Structure 1
Amino acid sequence: MDILRVGVIGGRPPLCDDGSGLDIDLMTAIAEKLGDSVEFVVAGSPGDVADGLASGALACAAGLAAAPERERAVAFAPPYLITGHALAVDTERHRDVGSVGDLRGLTLGVQAGGTAASLAGELVAQGRAGTVVTYGDGGVRAALSALSAGECDAVLELAPVLGALARQFDGVEVVETGLSTEHVGVAVAEHDQQLLSRIAVAQSELEADGTLQRLRRRWLGNPYSDQGLGVV
């Protein structure tokens, strides 16, 4: 039995937090399908996971959103989750901010190395927001803590993660969703097409037998891979 060394991004419920979440259950089920044992390596940011794939320290990873800059170094199986970015603000401090259209001159907090950082950078470049602050240590929680403390004005992150974490901070609410379309999938190093094929087949079998639907319903409240198809 081989050991499948899997990178996951910690501190992002309901995907991965404190050793549990959709990504943990998914990769455990895939490893079982492959006849492998699984070893999880919890990273602090999406960038750390991507670097682990590129260096060979990781065999595969879960929780990464496909992006052009990543697809030059890693390859993705079909997405097990299609979601988008969302926007959270402290509604007591910024009662007039209800969408990205209200961010001009404001500071956005994002997790370092994630696709939200790219989106935030685009908003600043377009003059639709003021500045971006990235948080490495602590990731999304650190960004939301800074938001709650008044150190930034809004936070961008994948909708399931932002929704789960925003509830932990008084006065912080998700005010807009559907800001992008993100395909979250299992990733491998770009050259490892054999492993990619095996993972894709295992994932397809888990989708066909209903396992993935059950896992998504458990962790997200919505069984569909495309979360826009149902109400979470």
Structure 2
Amino acid sequence: MFKKFAFAACAAVAFTATLSSAALARDLLRVGTEPTFAPFEFLDTETKQYSGFDMDLIRAVADKAGYDVEILNMGFDALIPALKTKTIDVIAAGLSITEERAKRVDFTKPYYTSGISMIVRQADAKKFATFANLEGQRLAVQIGTTGADYAKGIKNAKVQSFNTTSEAFLDLQSGNAAAVVMDRPVLAYFLKTQPKAGKSLKLQPEIMDAQSYGFAVDKGNTELLNKLNKAYDELVASGEAKKIHDKWFAE
């Protein structure tokens, strides 16, 4: 009788432990990014972790929504196809909210407003003071970005697309391009983290086509979209979203 009681007690404890583990288990949110878009997403060479404003924010949003996060690295132009094939659950990659993209994905509430600007060599600062001055010039851009789209609309511009921002900046520094055309925060972060480049390059004040960034989920995934929006609202209300913003931006 005692052995039966002891066995039953042990079984009850094991069953309770299993229930507790199940209650603590969280779903995994697979986040796709293209980590060459500092300060939004990049690979920290010291920690070997994906870092940046987007990475901090999506981790905080996911945690608030009850998810664990797995970051998946892929090319920028592969992000939406990966979402459509359910390889990932959400995109966090400085993705501008556009009408064209909104036909294929659903965006969360905007979490950052950016705009297109340009960096030129200091010696050319007066010559290329505005985007109107870039007509007929060779321009360096990152493939698949709104900066690349805008540059292609400049009259007679010769647009050279690169896979990463660093390649575009190198093209400018080597004298091949008249300007690098990208989102302003990316340009400002580059100059902040590359003081030597800051001595020879200049971020021009003009800002074009202000756009908002949002996280993206597959079209029709309302359940996940609502969870992410609710979590973001809670982070804003608590002040945590502002703390994350202020960690990466002086503005």
- TM more than 0.5: yes
Q: Report the alpha carbon displacement of residue 6 of structure 1 after superposing the two structures with TM.
A: 0.5
Match of 1:141 in 2: 166
2:71 counterpart of 1:56: no
**Normalised by the size of structure 1, how large is the TM-score?**
0.87
Gap regions ≥5 residues in structure 1: 222-231
The structure with the greater share of residues assigned to helix is: 2
Q: Structure 1 residue 162: deviation in Å?
A: 1.1
Superposed counterparts of 1:54-203, under 5 Å = 54-62=84-92, 63-93=94-124, 95-123=126-154, 127=155, 129-136=156-163, 139-167=164-192, 168=194, 169=197, 171-203=200-232
One-letter amino acid of the structure 2 residue matched with residue 145 of structure 1: L
Pick aligned residue for 2:39 from 14, 17, 20: 14
**Paired AA for residue 107 in structure 1:** R
168-177 or 189-198, larger mean C-alpha shift: 168-177
Matches of 1:57 and 1:142, distance apart in 2: 28
Secondary structure of 2:37's counterpart equals coil
Between the aligned partners of 1:135 and 1:52, the Cα distance in structure 2 is 21
How many percent identity over aligned positions?
28
Secondary structure class of the residue paired with 1:48 = helix
Matched position secondary structure for 2:41: coil
| Contact 2:151-2:157 at 8 Å conserved across structures | no
Partner of 1:225: none
Q: 1:181 to 1:165 in 2, by over 3 A?
A: same
TM-score, normalised with respect to structure 2? 0.81
Contact 1:6 1:60 in 2 (8 A): yes
Which ranges of 4 or more aligned residues in structure 1 deviate by more than 4 Å? none
CA distance in 1, matches of 2:243, 2:234: 13
Q: CA RMSD in A?
A: 1.5
Contact in 1 for aligned 2:90/2:215 (Cα 8 Å): yes
Whether the 8 Å CA contact 1:159–1:177 is kept in 2: the answer is no
- Assess if the C-alpha contact under 8 Å between 1:88 and 1:166 holds in 2: no
The letter of the residue matching 2:170 is S
Q: 1:132 to 1:179 in 2, by over 3 A?
A: same
The higher radius of gyration belongs to 2
